[in-house]
């Protein structure tokens, strides 16, 4: 949007970064993006992201896996109606193993795919606001705001402990 | 923190506002436990004197159950040291070690089992020729006695070192990357490995030998994994109860601690059912009579099959389905209920493992078993009071910023 600029505040400490994010959200400004060198649960909470939807995808995948397992084992047993070793044609104990393993398989794969999709990966092209150091030892808070707000945002970030607040070409 | 947890818990708690008055554990609790112990002891003596084998069967079931909890607790503490689990907070260690004083009592009770050996071990009156070299009275009591003596000594030393200055300091400051102190680290390794060996041996000798023709290779692990889980749920239950007593601001009500205990309960109930199913599927598939008779008696035959399925529900199905989410784990009422039901389930599990071997057609479950179990509960409770008081004192002196 014209008139909007991008400010990037870099923090050296996780807690200061969280304070910065909380200060921004307190002023009704949602950071566009936050880069962290390591995962931070408190930061995710501070950003107000809530629970990830990936768990529902994994659950759905797991249930699909169990049902597929039942379909595969029971279906093929009924189709090839053989009595082996005196066991019933549809014998539950060994079928449990296959249903369980397919649950894990489908759950795992759907979790992976769900995560990739939810995280917006792969991210092709240049990542706005990213600095090499954010993958190493600094936290980066990227804020998109109109030019007029830039002073306020910079003050909030500096107050929370930002080492450096610089402008990124929008 | 410079405060010594050894000092009277009441004095420290009194200094903090909003907490109930001292003593931390009212005398009525001690009284009730003592009465239960006496009543149980009397019931045991009366039943044993009448010549009924039920007394010693109940004795064995309870010995396995309660000793498993006490020993499992100490092993949980060693597991925390081995995995450098300081994130769990000091209370995790203190609560795990709270029941350790029952271990020496269990050792003594094991030797008392000698007097009931004819009621409990079928191979005493009817020796099994092929297995007589292993299953004979002197060898069994010697090896199991030495093994349990080793575990007792090791556990007592471990708890002592864990409550010492260095180890306690290590658990309280989680913001450095130091390893645990050498002494406790080495003890934890020896304790954990010894637990696996000794409790497999106990499982083979005190449970599997009751049906001398039967064997299952995984049985030792299944047994001590169940003991480990029963310790986890006992810790969860006592933590929830102490949280109710000391209020939502106490270290016992910390959501992180309850979450950890809930995860532990969830995960190891799955481990237990995994080991159970591993044995079951192999025996089911092979369909060899010398292996299947043990399982068929417990899973397909009346009067045992309802109890066996109840065990599965209480020990796996309920904890698994109820404790899957995050919120139920952090809700004390839910965690406490599942833990209490889990304990009942584990007691039943020990019962279903032991008693059908000795009394295949009848169900000896009545007043005698109830009173003897309550008696063991009383003794276990009395032995755990010092450890629990120590944990309460540690909770009172734990600072807000340090690992609680």
Q: Does A98 touch chain B (CB under 8 A)?
A: no
ipTM of the shown complex:
0.74
**Shortest alpha-carbon distance between residue A109 and chain B (Å):** 20
Mutation target for B interface from A93, A98, A104: give the one with most B CBs within 10 A: A93
Helix, strand, or coil here: B324? coil
Is pTM beyond 0.95? Reply is no
Note whether A96 contacts B: Cβ–Cβ < 8 A.
yes
CA distance A42 to chain B (A): 14
Chain A: give the shortest CA distance to residue B19, in Å. Answer: 30
Burial of residue A70 (number of CB atoms within 10 Å: 0-12, 13-18, 19+):
middle
**CA distances (Å), A162 to each of A20, A159, B17, B104, B110, in order?**
8, 7, 39, 58, 65
Q: Is B285 on the interface with A (CB under 8 A)?
A: yes
Residues of B in contact with A97 (CB under 8 A): 281
Domain A4-51+126-168 fold is Ribosomal Protein L30; Chain: A, (3.30.1390)
**Residues in chain A within 8 Å Cβ distance of B277:** 96
In whole angstroms, what is the distance from residue B241 CA to residue A92 CA? 40
Taking contacts as CB-CB distances below 8 angstroms, the residues of chain B near A96 are 277, 281
Flag if A93 and B284 touch (Cβ within 8 Å).
yes
Closest chain A residue by Cα to residue B286: A85
Residues 56-95 of A with CB under 8 A from B: 85-87, 93-94
Domain regions of chain A by residue span = 4-51+126-168, 54-118
A94 contact residues in B (CB cutoff 8 A): 281, 285
Q: CA of B116, closest CA in chain A: separation in Å?
A: 38
Inspect the interface and report whether the beta carbons of B287 and A85 lie closer than 8 Å: yes
Q: What is each CA distance from A53 to A30, A56, A116, B361, in whole angstroms?
A: 20, 6, 12, 53
Task: Return the residue matching tokens 């003594």.
Answer: B108
Residue with tokens 């002073």: A151
Residue-wise pLDDT tens digits, B323-374: 998 999 999 999 999 999 999 999 999 999 999 999 999 999 999 999 999 9
Residues B293, B299, B304: CA angle, nearest 5 degrees: 100
Q: Cβ atoms within 10 A of the Cβ of A81, count? A: 8
Instruction: List the one residue out of B236, B198, B240, B205 whose CA is nearest residue B103.
Output: B198
Distance between first and last Cα of chain B: 12
Q: CB–CB of B375/B44 below 8 Å? A: yes
Cβ under 8 Å to B: A residues 24-63: none
**SS3 state of residue B331:** coil
Q: A8 with A131: CB under 8 angstroms? A: yes
CB–CB of A102/A69 below 8 Å? yes
CA of residue A119 relative to chain centroid, distance = 5
Q: What residues of chain A lie within 8 A of the CB of B281, using their CB? A: 93-94, 96-97
- CA nearest to A145, candidates A170, A163, A126, A128: A170
CB contact under 8 A, B277 and A85: no
Task: Output the CA torsion sign for B2, B249, B378, B69.
Answer: negative
**Cα distances (angstroms) measured from residue B191 to each of A112, B94, B220, B265:** 39, 17, 16, 22
Nearest-by-CA chain A residue for B274: A97
What's the N-to-C CA distance of chain A in angstroms?
9
Residue of A nearest to B283 (CA): A93
Beta strands in B109-237 (DSSP E): none
DSSP B347-382: HHHHHHHHHHHH-SSS---SHHHHHHHHHHHHHHHH
3-state helix, strand, coil in chain B (%, to 5): 80, 0, 20
Q: Would you tell me how many other CB atoms lie within 10 Å of the CB of residue B104? A: 17
Boundaries of every domain in chain B: 9-397
Q: Kindly list the distances between the CA atom of residue B182 and the CA atoms of B3, B158, B161, B178, B277, in Å, as whole numbers in the listed order.
A: 24, 12, 11, 11, 39
Full pLDDT tens readout for chain B, 404 residues: 444 444 444 444 434 444 444 567 888 999 999 999 999 999 999 999 998 899 999 999 999 999 999 999 999 999 999 998 888 888 899 999 999 999 999 999 999 999 999 999 999 999 999 999 999 999 999 999 999 999 999 999 999 999 998 998 898 877 778 889 999 999 999 999 999 999 999 999 999 999 999 999 999 999 999 999 999 999 999 999 999 988 888 888 888 899 999 999 999 999 999 999 999 999 999 999 999 999 999 999 999 999 999 999 999 999 999 999 899 999 999 999 999 999 999 999 999 999 999 999 999 999 999 999 999 999 999 999 999 999 998 888 765 544 45
């Amino acid at each position: 949007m014209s008139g909007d600029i991008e400010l990037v505040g870099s923090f050296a400490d996780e807690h200061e970064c969280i304070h910065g994010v909380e200060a921004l959200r307190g002023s009704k400004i949602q950071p566009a993006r936050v880069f962290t060198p390591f995962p931070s649960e408190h930061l995710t909470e501070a950003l107000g992201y809530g629970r990830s939807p990936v768990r529902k995808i994994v659950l759905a995948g797991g249930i699909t896996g169990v049902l597929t397992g039942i379909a595969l084992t029971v279906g093929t047993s009924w189709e090839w109606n053989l009595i082996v070793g005196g066991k019933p044609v549809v014998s539950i104990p060994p079928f449990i193993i296959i249903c369980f393993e397919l649950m894990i398989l489908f759950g795992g794969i759907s979790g992976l795919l769900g995560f990739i999709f939810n995280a917006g990966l792969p991210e092709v092209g240049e990542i706005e606001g990213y600095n090499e150091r954010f993958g190493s030892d600094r936290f980066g808070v990227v804020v998109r705001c109109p030019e007029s707000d830039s002073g306020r945002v910079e003050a909030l970030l500096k107050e929370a402990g930002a080492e450096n607040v610089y402008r990124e070409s929008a | 923190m410079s405060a010594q947890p050894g000092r009277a818990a009441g004095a420290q708690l009194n200094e903090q506002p909003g907490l109930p008055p001292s003593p931390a554990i009212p005398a009525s609790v001690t009284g009730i436990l003592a009465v239960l112990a006496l009543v149980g002891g009397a019931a045991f003596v009366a039943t044993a004197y009448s010549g009924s084998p039920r007394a010693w069967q109940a004795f064995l079931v309870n010995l396995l159950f309660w000793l498993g909890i006490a020993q499992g607790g100490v092993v949980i503490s060693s597991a925390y040291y081995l995995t450098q689990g300081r994130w769990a907070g000091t209370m995790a260690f203190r609560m795990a070690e709270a029941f350790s004083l029952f271990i020496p009592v269990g050792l003594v009770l094991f030797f008392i089992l000698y007097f009931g050996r004819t009621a409990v071990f079928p191979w005493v009156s009817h020796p099994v020729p092929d297995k007589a070299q292993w299953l004979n009275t002197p060898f069994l009591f010697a090896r199991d006695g030495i093994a349990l003596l080793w575990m007792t000594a090791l556990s007592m030393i471990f708890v002592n070192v864990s409550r010492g200055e260095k180890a306690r300091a290590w658990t309280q400051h989680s913001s450095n990357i130091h390893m645990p102190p050498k002494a406790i680290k080495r003890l934890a390794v020896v304790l954990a490995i010894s637990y696996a060996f000794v409790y497999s041996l106990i499982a083979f000798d005190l449970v599997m030998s009751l049906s001398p023709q039967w064997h299952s290779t995984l049985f030792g692990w299944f047994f001590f994994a169940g003991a480990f889980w029963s310790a986890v749920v006992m810790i969860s239950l006592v933590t929830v109860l102490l949280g109710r007593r000391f209020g939502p601001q106490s270290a016992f009500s910390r959501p992180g601690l309850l979450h950890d205990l809930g995860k532990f309960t969830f995960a190891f109930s799955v481990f237990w059912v995994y080991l159970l199913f591993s044995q079951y599927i192999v025996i089911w598939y092979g369909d060899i009579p010398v292996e299947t008779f043990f399982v068929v008696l417990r899973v397909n035959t009346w009067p045992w099959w309802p109890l066996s399925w109840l065990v599965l529900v209480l020990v796996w199905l309920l904890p698994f389905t109820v404790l899957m989410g995050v919120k139920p784990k952090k809700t004390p009422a839910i965690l406490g209920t599942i833990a209490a039901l889990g304990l009942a389930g584990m007691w039943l599990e020990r019962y279903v493992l032991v008693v059908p071997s000795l009394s295949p057609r009848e169900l000896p479950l009545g007043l005698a078993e109830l009173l003897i179990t309550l008696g063991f509960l009383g003794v276990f409770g009395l032995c755990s009071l010092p450890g629990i008081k120590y944990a309460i004192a540690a909770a009172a002196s734990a600072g807000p910023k340090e690992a609680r």
